[in-house]
Structure 1
Amino acid sequence: MREKPLDIVVLGLSLSSSWGNGHATTFRALLRSLAARGHRILFLERDVPWYAAHRDMPAPGFCRLELYPDLPTLQDRWAGAVESADAVIVGSYVPQGVAVGEWVQRTARGATAFYDIDTPVTLAKLRQGDTEYLSPELIPGYDAYLSFTGGPTLELLMQHYGSPAARPLYCSVDAEAYRPQDVPKRWDLSYLGTYSPDRQPVLERLLLEPARRAPDLRFVVAGPQYPADIAWPANVERLDHVPPAEHPAFYSASRYTLNVTRADMVAAGYSPSVRLFEAAACGAPVISDIWDGIETVLRPEEEIVLAADTEAVLSVLRDPDSGRQERIAQAARKRILSEHTAEHRAAELEAHLREALHRKAPARALAWAQPFPAVTATQRELP
């Protein structure tokens, strides 16, 4: 027996543009797999100039994408869709996110969820009284809080902030799009990520200083918004933007790639980044900074290398054991493909939404548990 597919509305930061954000690639992989399970998805995105100038997916084939210019237009045009949807998901960093969330909670008859791709950053903002896209008052009104961070943070969301159901929903990787490429190795160590002031000291310690001390090795930092006054060593190549379609080739051209985590996420722990999953899926062995819970994602020294300082990075890059790199890469790719693909996350998301629906409207939810004959080849049995 299969349950009826869901009509889902997602209000997220961006689906159309991956420029300067990690939200788009996360949404693309997740929603593509969710659509493959038979669900119907409407994605509503605020039309803003910085994404309009860099749209690399203006017409996704797996869902309906609609842009809106402002909050009044969103409310006037899409109230019916939000009201009738089985589930409505609001993402972190949505412009005017508090007003959007209040409107969704007033309007939606189905389950509502907040999808936090930035949970530790969000909680740090709330502690500082910053309600850019979420307020403490909104949290109990969402039927589920879907968090990029697991571990103790989930209890904090429920016990302190009153969420009725905080559930982990880590990022994931599109296993079809992210796979090893047969390209020459261009760099000994790469890093892909938008500039962030709190990540920069770690990037300095784990990549720039190793580059200064090892002028014979090759490095690259890819991503936008880096200040013009950064003193890049001569052996560090700079790429302003690498489109998602080119990520597999970028990672495959790296002997090792670096994972650097934002300070709030290090403090919270249990916050793996999408870049970690994508790099591992492409067969690039990862050197990462250290935070609680990373061992629940990849086993240190077997599937990932942890480094606290410059010396640790240089030790890895100059390791005479030529087979270590390949062993770590293969083990990490196997682990990611068995536990952290978009298909895994889509199944988890569906389960969380159905759980919220059953809590909110038992009679309506039970009516959905009827045989559904129109089953596509890509649909999978529920876990």
Structure 2
Amino acid sequence: MRIAFYGSSLVSAYWNGAATYYRGLLRALASLGYEITFYEPDVYDRQKHRDIDPPTWCRVVVYEGSVAAMKRAAAEAAGADIVVKASGVGFEDDLLLEEVLRAARPTALKIFWDVDAPATLAVLKAAEDHPLRSALPSLDLVLTYGGGDPVVRSYRAIGARECIPVYNALDPETHHPVAPEPRFNADLAFLGNRLPDRESRVETFFLEPASRLPERRFLLGGAGWHDKPLPESVVYIGHVPTADHNAFNATPKAVLNISRSSMAANGFSPATRVFEAAGAGACLITDAWEGIDLFLKPQEEVLVARDGRDVAELMCSLTAGQAKQIGQRALSRVLGEHTYAHRASEVDQTFRRWFKRPEAAE
């Protein structure tokens, strides 16, 4: 079956947190026999910061950031059996959805794939005339990057026929244990771009414990923190390319995951970082959110902190031996239950089930 997938970017992770998710899931679907074309706009300098070449398992079409080019790309949806419009494409999202749905064949499976459901739902609830809300009856499925029952109920309540979470996972070919690198030596490392929905939580869970423990070394990676006042114990290294994520995760004694506020409030939304870190065998400390136990067992496969004080106490008590054991347990768990091969199998079953529904034959 042919998939036309309209998203932010497959070849660039620059200001594009969904890149790892897209790559892992679409490569796994391609291995099941799907023919995939990924359409992405040339915006936000992403094409200048490509971190992978166009893959062999997916055709990538980059279109210029103009309405005319976008409409030409959308028209190609007519040749697909499955048409996917993702959230956060970054250029004329509402018009793109309209054009893609117009071009799609009546028999095509039409999907909205939400990679930031809490943020999208907040917008939809505030605007009853929002174009996406109006389009929900025309869509067969809403798939989401996370969110669990709260997101499923919310989408159904505003008109989605069905909503199914497809969680982040591990791509073992991309994220795996590697030898430590001295430049990433630290007691605790955090990697994340500076975003309004995350900054105050970074202050609480990372900068506050760094202030409490001036004798420890804290490593901060990600874009946008250059003008942020930082404790002396924090070393800022800027953007960390995807190719360096394994070493970034494998080298420090522990790495930190901090959910954005909206995702922490909804729960059931493990960030890509959770599986990247576990896949590298890192000892992960995460902020507390409902549903973590569905993915990793607290205190055995992951350490959970309620606030900055908890993070500081964990760093004071955690030994190198304990950190290594936690990281190895996490690696074993995600390899056994949470790879993109597991997720792709679930998505494949969903696609086939919906193609068999009575309406698809009409």
Give your verdict on TM over 0.5: yes
- 1:124–1:264 CA contact under 8 A, matched in 2: no
1:40 pairs with 2:39: no
Is residue 147 from structure 1 mapped to residue 144 from structure 2 by the alignment?
yes
2:99 counterpart of 1:100: no
Cα distance per residue 1:227-268 (max 9 Å; x no partner): 61x211222111221111110011001211111111111111
In the alignment, structure 1 residue 73 sits paired with structure 2 residue 69: yes
The C-alpha deviation readout for 1:170-206, integer Å capped at 9, x for no partner, is: 1122111211112156011111111112312221122
Q: Determine whether 1:19 maps to 2:14.
A: yes
Structure with the larger RCO, 1 or 2 (CA within 8 Å, 6+ apart): 1
**5+ residue gaps in structure 2?**
none
Q: Is the 8 A contact 1:224 1:240 kept in 2?
A: yes
**CA distance 1:285–1:176, shift in 2 (3 Å):** same
Between the aligned partners of 2:320 and 2:280, the Cα distance in structure 1 is 19
Counterparts of 1:215-226 in structure 2, within 5 Å, are: 215-226=214-225
Describe the superposition over 1:113-156 as per-residue Cα deviations: whole angstroms up to 9, x where unpaired.
11111001111122233989x62112222111001222222122
Q: Cα distance 1:211–1:62, how it changes in 2: closer, same or farther (>3 A)?
A: same
From 281, 285, 288, give the equivalent of 2:286: 288
Give the unaligned 5+ runs of structure 1: 1-5, 365-383
Distance 1:269 1:131 in 2: 27
Q: Contact 2:201/2:261 (CA < 8 Å) preserved in 1?
A: no
Residue number among 166, 186, 202 corresponding to 1:169 in the alignment:
166
- For residue 326 of structure 1, what is the aligned residue in structure 2? 324
- Measured in 2, the distance between the counterparts of 1:355 and 1:68 equals 33
Cα RMSD, aligned residues only: 2.0
The one of 45, 49, 61 equivalent to 1:50 is 45
Letter in 1 for 2:93: G
TM-superposed CA distance for 1:322, in Å, is: 4.5
Aligned to 1:347: 345
Q: Is the 8 A contact 2:81 2:109 kept in 1?
A: yes
Residue aligning to 1:373:
none
Contact 1:98–1:131 (CA under 8 A) maintained in structure 2: no
Deviations 1:23-65 (A, max 9, x none): 1121111111111112111010011142122122242222110
How far apart, in 2, do the equivalents of 1:322 and 1:222 lie? 22
What's 1:310 paired with? 308
Output the CA distance in 1 between the equivalents of 2:259 and 2:172: 22
CA shift in 2, pair 1:65/1:184, >3 Å: closer
Which residue of structure 1 lines up, in the alignment, with residue 193 of structure 2? 194
What is the CA deviation profile of residues 60-100 of structure 1, one whole-angstrom value per residue up to 9, with x for unaligned ones?
22211011122322323552x31121101111112212111
Distance in structure 2 (CA, Å) of the matches to 1:284 and 1:334: 12
Counting aligned pairs with the same residue, the percent is 36
How many residue pairs align between the two structures? Answer: 355
Is the alpha carbon distance of 1:161 and 1:237 closer, same or farther for their aligned partners in structure 2, counting shifts above 3 Å? same
**Equivalents in 1 of 2:128, 2:280: separation in Å?**
37
Aligned equivalents of 2:57, 2:244: Cα separation in 1: 20
Q: Give the whole-Å Cα distance in 1 for the aligned partners of 2:129 and 2:346.
A: 28
Deviations 1:284-311 (A, max 9, x none): 1111111111121111111111112222
> Does the CA contact (< 8 Å) of 2:39 and 2:73 recur in 1?
no
1:25–1:360 CA distance, 2 compared to 1 (3 A): farther
Alpha-carbon distance between aligned partners in 1 of 2:263 and 2:322, rounded to the nearest angstrom: 29
The whole-number CA distance in structure 2 between the counterparts of 1:320 and 1:9 is 47
Q: Which moves more between the two structures, 285-294 or 52-61?
A: 52-61
> Separation in 2 of the partners of 1:135 and 1:362?
22
How far apart in 1 are the matches of 2:356 and 2:63? 31
Single out whichever of 118-127 and 180-189 deviates more from structure 2.
Answer: 180-189
Structure whose residues are more often helix by fraction: 2
Distance in 2 separating the partners of 1:255 and 1:64: 39
Partner SS state of residue 170, structure 2 = coil
Q: Is the 8 A contact 1:140 1:161 kept in 2?
A: no
For 2:291 and 2:165, the matched residues in 1 are separated by 13
Match of 1:112, SS state, is: strand
- Residue type of the alignment partner of 1:359: R
Tell me the amino acid that sits aligned with residue 170 of structure 1: Y
Aligned partners of 1:96 and 1:359: how far apart in 2?
32
> Is this contact kept in 2: 1:125–1:131, CA < 8 A?
no
SS of the equivalent of 1:136 reads helix
For the residues of structure 1 that align with 2:333 and 2:129, how far apart are their CA atoms? 37
Bigger Cα displacement from structure 2, 165-174 vs 54-63: 54-63
